[in-house]
Amino acid sequence: MFQLEAMLALLILAFLGTPTVLTQDYHGPEVGKHSCTSTPEEKNITSIRVFLQARSIVGIQFNYDDKDGQVYGSTAGKEMVARLSKEEHITGVEGSYSPSALTQIVFTTTQPRQLMVGYHVGIYQYSSYPDDPSFVLKGACVSWRAGGIKSILFLWGSENSSCVKYGHSG
Ligand SMILES: *[C@@H]1O[C@H](CO)[C@@H](O)[C@H](O)[C@H]1NC(C)=O
Ligand SMILES: *[C@@H]1O[C@H](CO)[C@@H](O)[C@H](O)[C@H]1NC(C)=O
């Protein structure tokens, strides 16, 4: 019993001692091309579009105040869009990925509701939340190769600021 407790305490210490591992979390293998996008000053995310081939997310686009953002990856295949209402913000993200590509993103919003893109087929699950619960989703960093978005890291910040921070998982 004592040993189990000691081990748990060590585990907790190990977690507390490695905040960079917990906070800079790419979901999926960080390979291929990289880029980041975040909300310009005074603007909000209005939609997030993904492009799917079979059940893999091969392209992703963040749009701010209804202006099309840059597409990372490919625009081939089927489109799915998570569209936010005015004054609606994203407060958490979960989803799944497979070894070959990101497969699903589920956004929880202030409405409150969930908006989903992709399919729940990936064998690995992820989640991302801001460290400060008043923060909202401001953008993301992605890595991609031909054939798939390989990984994604979500960026968080206060509604009225363009400054972004990493969040945490779980
Ligand atoms: C962006 O979001 C903030 C906070 O909800 C809101 O006050 C503002 O009106 C929004 N801006 C636009 C252009 O919709
Ligand atoms: C953001 O700014 C809007 C308009 O100036 C204000 O109504 C809102 O309360 C602000 N939100 C935060 C989180 O400070």
pLDDT > 70 in the chain, percent:
86
Whether residue 158 has its Cβ less than 6 Å from ligand 2? yes
- What three-state secondary structure class fits 69? coil
Token digits for 59? Answer: 């392209």
The 10s digit of each residue's pLDDT in 23-74 is 468 999 999 999 999 999 999 999 999 999 999 999 999 999 989 999 999 9
Give the mean pLDDT of the chain. 89
102 CA → ligand 2 middle, Å: 33
How far is Cα 110 from Cα 62, in angstroms, rounded to an integer?
18
| Nearest Cα residue to 105 out of 114, 94, 97, 113 | 94
Please give the distance, rounded to the nearest whole angstrom, from the Cα atom of residue 97 to the centre of ligand 2: 35
Ordered domains of the chain (ranges, CATH): 24-169 (2.100.10.30)
pLDDT category of residue 107 using cuts at 50, 70 and 90: very high
Q: How far is the CA of 158 from the centre of ligand 2 (A)?
A: 9
